[in-house]
Amino acid sequence: MKIGTLSAETGVSPRLLRYYEEQGLLTSYRAEGGHRRYDLDAPVVVRRIRTLLAAGLPTRVIKDVLPCASGSGEVLDACTLDRLRGRLTGLDEQLAELTATRQALSAILTATERAGTLAGAAA
Q: Span 1-76: which CATH code?
A: 1.10.1660.10
Residue 119 Cα distances to 42, 112, 113, 115, angstroms: 65, 10, 10, 6
Q: What is the pLDDT of residue 67?
A: 87
Q: In the predicted model, is pLDDT for residue 121 greater than 80?
A: no
Instruction: Specify the pTM.
Output: 0.73
Q: What is the pLDDT of residue 93?
A: 97
Task: Share the mean pLDDT of the chain.
Answer: 90
Question: What pLDDT digit, counting tens, does each position of 2-42 carry?
Answer: 999 999 999 999 999 999 999 999 999 998 888 899 999 99
Higher pLDDT: 76 or 8? It is 8
Q: What is the pLDDT of residue 123?
A: 61
Using an 8 Å Cβ cutoff, are 36 and 28 in contact?
yes
Task: Kindly state the DSSP code that residue 27 receives in the 8-state scheme.
Answer: -
Q: Which residues contact 76 (CB under 8 A, 6 or more apart)?
A: 65, 68, 69, 70, 84
Give residue limits of the domains in the chain: 1-76, 78-123
Q: In the predicted model, is pLDDT for residue 58 greater than 80?
A: yes
